[in-house]
Structure 1
Amino acid sequence: MDNILITGAASGIGAATARLFHARGWQVGLLDVNQAELASLAEELGGAWHAPLDVTDAAAVQQALADFCGQHGGQLRLLFNCAGILRFGHFEDIESAEHARILNINVLGLLQMTHAAFRYLKATPGAQVINMGSASGLYGTPHMVSYSASKFAVRGLTEALELEWRRHGIRVGDLMPPFVRTPMVDGQRFEPPTLRRLGVTLKAEDIAAAVWQQAQGAAVHRPVSWPFKLMYWSGQVSPAWLNRLVMGWLSRE
């Protein structure tokens, strides 16, 4: 039976993905720093395997992977790196420690999880890594500077590792949605002009469906929602100055 290990699983996109894959017969592993919500979701899913985890803790990452994969013959079919944080606001108004925290969780945490998972992925036919990217990893987005930087890093890591791990038969890809209606977005105190102009039309369940599609396919980048798909593909062929002009208009205060 296929298995999936999800970071950031306690709420939002991670929880929606866990529910979808569990409903479709996969063995689900849940990881998150929020122990109460994590335990509640695990109970909802019939006692699914779960463990509290800070993805920036390298030793804890190693242990969590060993514990989950040890119950599945040392194999891991799919790692979904969903853990991440963001902070909307003017760059100078956000403490440098918060910028660093965003990069540590969104980039270093993802890198540590993926690195530690290699031995289990390599041992599994059809193994795959899906990283939680973002539309803001396509072009730098004002008022979410460090988050955007982190998603550029995720995009680069995904592209490079997809090429490098082909020799091991491990597929690597990412999802690139625009804004998604999740507790993380709803809890922000600052509304970026880009969000106000584009709106929030996606739900966590829409991204979970994209994870399912990605698990069946081999796309390196999977843009989510038709409007952003059009922006993504036009951005591949339009000149850089035009992309900058559009982003400048969307983010104008």
Structure 2
Amino acid sequence: MNAFITGAASGIGKATADALLKRGWSLALADIAVDDLYVVKEEYPDRVSVYVLDVTDESAFSSAVADFAAQHNGKLRLMFNCAGVLEVNRFTDISTRRHDQIIDINVKGVLHGCRSAYPFLRDTPGAQVINMSSASATYGIPEFAVYSASKFAVQGLTEALNIEWRKDGIHVGDIMPPFVKTPMLTSQEHGAAIIDALGVNLTAEDVAEAVMKQLSFKLTHRPVSLPFTLLFLFSQITPRPLTGLLIRLLSRH
């Protein structure tokens, strides 16, 4: 089994890599900063390849995936699009440049990953794409506006490709965790009322375990944690304004 993981140097990407390595997988670990990844490669020299990768660079992405697949007879069992960035603040207090960066990494990075991996996934029995989405794709979250929008895009792409690529034997799904204790969240300079209301109750390892479940029991959208799973199911069967009302109540300062 082999997998290509973006955003592998920290947080959910790192935790997922650790979980897969314990299960005997061979991995491509890709990130912009890779010093820590070479430590992993030293421990697993025959099962880990490291790539310095900016996911917004489609050409570099394609080259890295092709190089890794070539090491495995042109096969790729899993593409895990995990790289992402977040800025918590009021929409008008975040620069346009930062908004653009969030879209470029969170959306275009996933597009590039799917497109780069497709030829190799198509030739691999049981192949999967797992995209990192978020609970914020359930309903637009104040002070997460563009991040939330980016995850709605990931959700829509996931749904469309899961139908489109079914004939190729490729399953496309996403993981939807609420707030996770990772450097991406804990490094934020600004808080948000909804974080205070719901708390940060998940670890990167919790989300990695959800990825492990997704490998054997494939869903289009996999919510993480019982409370959010119930909220997600509620949002699917109730009028959308009710979900909006709940988000407004949770977002009160």
Indicate the residue corresponding to 1:146 in structure 2. Answer: 146
Within 5 A, what are the aligned runs for 1:220-231? 220-231=220-231
Secondary structure of the 1:219 match is coil
- Indicate yes or no: 2:60 matched with 1:57: no
- Partners of 1:131 and 1:103 in 2: how far apart? 15
- Partners of 2:44 and 2:187 in 1: how far apart? 26
- Partners of 2:65 and 2:37 in 1: how far apart? 17
Query: Is residue 55–residue 109 contact of structure 1 (8 Å, CA) maintained in 2?
Result: yes
Q: Deviations over 1:46-74 (max 9, x none)?
A: 46211100000011011101111010000
Within 5 A, what are the aligned runs for 1:111-150? 111-150=111-150
Q: Deviations over 1:11-64 (max 9, x none)?
A: 000000000000001111100001223323333444621110000001101110
TM-score by length of 2: 0.97
Indicate the residue corresponding to 1:20 in structure 2. Answer: 19
- Partners of 1:124 and 1:189 in 2: how far apart? 43
In 2 relative to 1, CA 57–65 (structure 1 residues): closer, same or farther, beyond 3 Å? same
Identity %: 50
Secondary structure of the 2:28 match is strand
Indicate the residue corresponding to 1:162 in structure 2. Answer: 162
Q: CA deviation at 1:190?
A: 0.6
Q: Deviations over 1:218-247 (max 9, x none)?
A: 210000000000000011111222111100
Within 5 A, what are the aligned runs for 1:135-214? 135-214=135-214
Aligned CA-pair RMSD: 1.0
Indicate the residue corresponding to 1:101 in structure 2. Answer: 101
AA of the residue aligned to 2:134? S
AA of the residue aligned to 1:38? L
Q: CA deviation at 1:90?
A: 0.7
In 2 relative to 1, CA 53–81 (structure 1 residues): closer, same or farther, beyond 3 Å? same
Aligned pair count reads 252
Secondary structure of the 2:165 match is helix
- Partners of 2:6 and 2:21 in 1: how far apart? 15
AA of the residue aligned to 2:69? C
Indicate the residue corresponding to 1:238 in structure 2. Answer: 238
- Partners of 1:37 and 1:142 in 2: how far apart? 34
Secondary structure of the 1:190 match is coil
AA of the residue aligned to 2:66? A
Structure 2: which 5+ runs fail to align? none
Secondary structure of the 1:150 match is helix
- Partners of 1:250 and 1:222 in 2: how far apart? 22
Structure 1: which 5+ runs fail to align? none
- Partners of 2:98 and 2:78 in 1: how far apart? 30
Indicate the residue corresponding to 1:6 in structure 2. Answer: 5
- Partners of 2:66 and 2:237 in 1: how far apart? 44
- Partners of 1:198 and 1:232 in 2: how far apart? 14
- Partners of 2:150 and 2:114 in 1: how far apart? 16
Query: Is residue 34–residue 52 contact of structure 2 (8 Å, CA) maintained in 1?
Result: yes
AA of the residue aligned to 2:95? E
